[in-house]
A and B are shown apart, each in its own frame.
Chain A
Amino acid sequence: MQEKVKDAPGSEFTWVGTRPVRPDGVDKVTGRARFGADMAMQGQLVGKVLRSPHPHARIRAIDTSAAEKLPGVKAVVTREDFQDQPSEFIPAGEMMINYRDVVRNVMAREKALYEGHAVAAVAATSAAIAKQALKLIKVDYEVLPHVIDVVEAMQPGAPLLHEDMITAGVEPAPKTPSNVAKRIEFGAGDVEAGFKQADVIVERAFTTKPVHQGYIEPHACVASVSEDGQADVWVTTQGHWIVRAHCARLLGWDVGKIRVTSSEIGGGFGGKTVVYLEPLALALAKKSRRPVKMVMTREEVFRASGPTSGAHVRVKIGARKDGRIVAAEAELKYQAGAFAGSPVQPGAMCAYAPYDLENVKVVGYDVVTNRPKVAAYRAPGGPISEFAVESALDELAGKLGMDPIEFRLKNAAKQGTKAAYGPKFGPIGLVETLEAAKSHAHWRTPLGKNQGRGLACGFWFNIGGETSVSLSLNEDGTLSLTAGTPDIGGLRASLCMMAAEELSIPMDKIRVQIGDTGQLGYNFLTGGSRATFSSGMATVEAAREVMKEACKRAAKLWELPEDAVEYKDGAVRPAGPNAGKHAPMSLKEIAGIAGKTGGPIAGYARINAHGAAPSFATHIADVEVDPETGKVTVVRYTAIQDAGRAIHPSYVEGQYQGGVAQGIGWALNEEYIYGADGKLQNPGFLDYRVPVASDLPMIDTVIVEVPNPRHPYGVRGVGETPICPPMAALANAVAAATGVRFTDLPMSPPKVLKALDEARAKGTARL
């Protein structure tokens, strides 16, 4: 099980860069691994949620008396059970949150703001009774006009979701409320002057639809509250410290009274960074004095958890004949769902990040609509703005008669480039990915009939943040590693590999687990591509602490000064000939003397991980378009990305491939479809069409390694960036195949055929 497959013979590392079997692997292929819904507590009740059938309605009254009287019903909660929260935006990773809104999202207060908005919850002795109880709850709704589309929501006279919402970021502040929560703007130079220098300008408007993370495991939790107020929650989440913080705040309980354990998590992609069921389960558990288990149905996941924004984006880019971009602007209107807080800010920052631009201006709007509140989704905001920019760049390259790679190379950000969003880049790998694309066989392979090739670049910042890790030396010399960032896709393997590398010991001497909130200091969540970076950094620090302590103990035994002892090749030994002759002591031997030399040995790292570095990508896509049905098939795909350093290359490749697959779904078929009644028409995997195995080709990957100097192993995050290029890569490929530029996602067959027919009528179609 510990077979090492070395990618690079002669590598300076023993473990880093190899492909061992992941430590949690056997449990996951045998069905033993326990996910959110796999937990049962003694005497647990079943919790279910009553959801609004209306996209927008004032809640005049809720009568739960009949439900409460139903035998088997043990508790009912509504808005009455949650204290109101003051308005205050606080950073929550890549997104901001406001507890005034969070409390309203988990349980509607004055109004139901989207179809599926939670209105009440019950706990009963069986699912059937809980379901029956929901039917007995009478909600008196005053149905209000709704607005679903982002552009319509910005119009004067649109139905207002929040009657007191005054657009932030506008001076002077508007006098009247609107659905625009915020306006942002940033830039550099003078775009007006820049456009005057341009020989060619492309200006285009793009639209994207909300898409869902589509994790296969629905939200699930089990909560228990003892008579003295000590609470336990088992939950599938990307961040159990975040769950604890939110629940404590919403319920008014002490943080320390709540212990949250993260289950194995069946996919998150940003969607499991917020709370939905957990505060309800805790409230029901407290009221009923019984554990309460809640699991969303797939339909609830689609209707009531957060997809990412749909958006309207306008970009304008100008370049000189020599291919240098002289000005670029973008206007982004992102739909936030029912409450403020779309990812328009990161979207705006990502838009032009890959390019070295003197004159750039980006304006963004955060707009509320009667849809579920958006949540983070893989590089939140980035894929939308990058789709627009990378599409426009492709068109611009075409107009200039330039190769799309050469055009991008001419404008690519490099070390020292000041990014449009502010910072100066350190060592980055965009140029390297473009060069790798240029020399890749894919780029030169001839295309077949009705086929086209497209290329696009991608960017994501990556983040660090608060992280704790402990590493204990056990009495037999083995080690126990505890991290606090949930492992969604191989984190335990990479942490174990970094620890083994530091300690120069076999990987199977370390058992790694994800600890609960009582076992470690604070951990920010797994997201933003921070887990391998931050927990890796903390793991290395903890391992170094163990080695240092081991040296100290041997020094004590050998009666040497501490600096006369060193840790090398898995053992403590005298540092040089002057330190005397002592046989090296293995960790096992050190563990044996731990008791008499000062007690247990452990490393404990508590850091705020800084130095996260961005990851750039270049993707190449080949598509084939059926001229008679408009169906687009991806026939070949290559994803090239800078990983900094790939700790476990298989899982880095897997991140690239998974991001590409999601991007292909976003590009071709995935969308939230609403009727005129404001209700979601496709809340299931039948009509919310994620790619299936037969839809995709093999996805070729190239890992470029430009190490991040601020991480002990050079790690950059890798998970977010790969979802950014596919939409533009595919749109560019479709344009190459058909002669038609698609600006509205998804490029579903009816849309493609219609546009092809129109282009044929005008004589502009290529097929």
Chain B
Amino acid sequence: MAKHHVAATVNGDAVEFLCETEETLLDVLRDQLGLTGTKEGCSTGDCGACSVTVDGRLVCSCLMLGVEANGKAIGTIEGMAQGEELHPLQRKFLEHAALQCGVCTPGFLVASKALLEKNANPTETEVRYWLAGNLCRCTGYDKIVRAVLDAAAEMRGA
């Protein structure tokens, strides 16, 4: 059967693509749109490396079909910095050394941004539970949680 024609926006830019039903949003982002910042760690929704937002809602792009993106606004790691200005979360991840290998980092950043948009002043426990779907095998999460809390404080102007 013919491929689906899908029109969406990615990081604010209009995109169009053709995809098979089976292709996930993750496949489309990486293989068709060349946005490889979104990572594939498991393809079963268990690691969070493929986190993106869809109409502002945090999802695993491996658990969504490309065809379902029609008419949606997709946000990926590539849209997080504004020009040369890193997002406060990106800056704080660097300052706190909240990454080692860095492969989980885009997912953590996208997920953390979604958290702070909902909750500007999360507790450590709230950060940990919100990010429980993002696996990091390098850091033990300590510096990641600190970076998110610090970014939240900065963004609140605290």
Contacts and interface: CB of A to CB of B under 8 A. Distances in A.
Would A and B touch once assembled, by the CB under 8 A criterion?
yes
Interface of A: 19, 21-22, 24-26, 28-35, 37-38, 40, 128, 213-218, 264-269, 295, 297-298, 488-490, 648, 650-651, 653-655, 657-662, 684-686, 690-696, 698-699
A492 to B, nearest CB: 11
Contact of B137 (A40, A267, A651): A267
A657 B31 CA distance: 35
B59 interface: no
B99 interface: yes
A128 B132 CA distance: 32
A487 B146 CA distance: 24
Contacts of A267: 100-101, 103, 137-138
Interface stretch (B2-10, B32-40, B64-72): B32-40
B141 to A, nearest CB: 4
Nearest to A217: B103
Q: Most chain-B Cβ atoms within 10 A of its Cβ — which of A19, A489, A694?
A: A694
The 4 closest A-B pairs by CB, nearest first: A31-B37, A266-B103, A661-B140, A28-B102
A215 B78 CA distance: 23
A20 to B, nearest CB: 10
Nearest to B91: A29
Contact of A215 (B37, B44, B105, B137): B137
| Chain A interface helix/strand/loop/mixed | loop
Contacts of A34: 36
Interface string B94-115: 1111011111111001000000
Interface in B9-38: 20, 22, 30-31, 35-38
B47 interface: yes
Interface in B69-98: 76-78, 80-81, 86, 90, 93-97
Contacts of B125: 694
Interface of B: 20, 22, 30-31, 35-44, 46-47, 49, 76-78, 80-81, 86, 90, 93-97, 99-106, 109, 124-125, 127-129, 131-146
A224 B96 CA distance: 39
B109 A297 contact: no
A298 B42 contact: yes
A337 B36 CA distance: 35
Given A31-B106, A215-B137, A218-B41, A699 B142 contact: yes
B132 A694 contact: yes
B62 to A, nearest CB: 10
B43 A297 contact: yes
Nearest to A30: B81
B119 to A, nearest CB: 15
Nearest to A34: B36
A328 to B, nearest CB: 31
Contact of B94 (A21, A31, A217): A21
Contact of A22 (B94, B129, B145): B94
Given A31-B78, A657-B140, A215 B134 contact: no
29 contacts: A22-B94, A28-B102, A29-B86, A30-B78, A30-B80, A31-B36, A31-B37, A31-B38, A31-B78, A37-B30, A37-B39, A213-B137, A214-B137, A216-B136, A266-B101, A298-B41, A488-B101, A489-B100, A651-B100, A657-B140, A658-B100, A661-B137, A684-B44, A691-B141, A692-B133, A692-B135, A694-B129, A696-B142, A698-B124
A29 B105 contact: yes
A694 B94 contact: no
Nearest to B81: A30
A26 B101 contact: no
Contacts of B138: 267, 488-489, 654, 658
A654 B146 CA distance: 12
Given A29-B109, A31-B76, A658-B140, A265 B132 contact: no
A30 B94 contact: no
B135 A685 contact: yes
B101 A22 contact: no
Given A266-B41, A693-B127, A693-B131, 9 more contacts: A21-B94, A21-B95, A31-B38, A266-B103, A298-B46, A657-B140, A661-B140, A684-B42, A686-B44
Contacts of B30: 37-38
Contacts of B101: 215-217, 264-268, 488-489
Given A31-B36, A489-B100, A217 B144 contact: no
Contact of A35 (B78, B103, B127): B103
A128 B137 contact: no
A565 B81 CA distance: 48
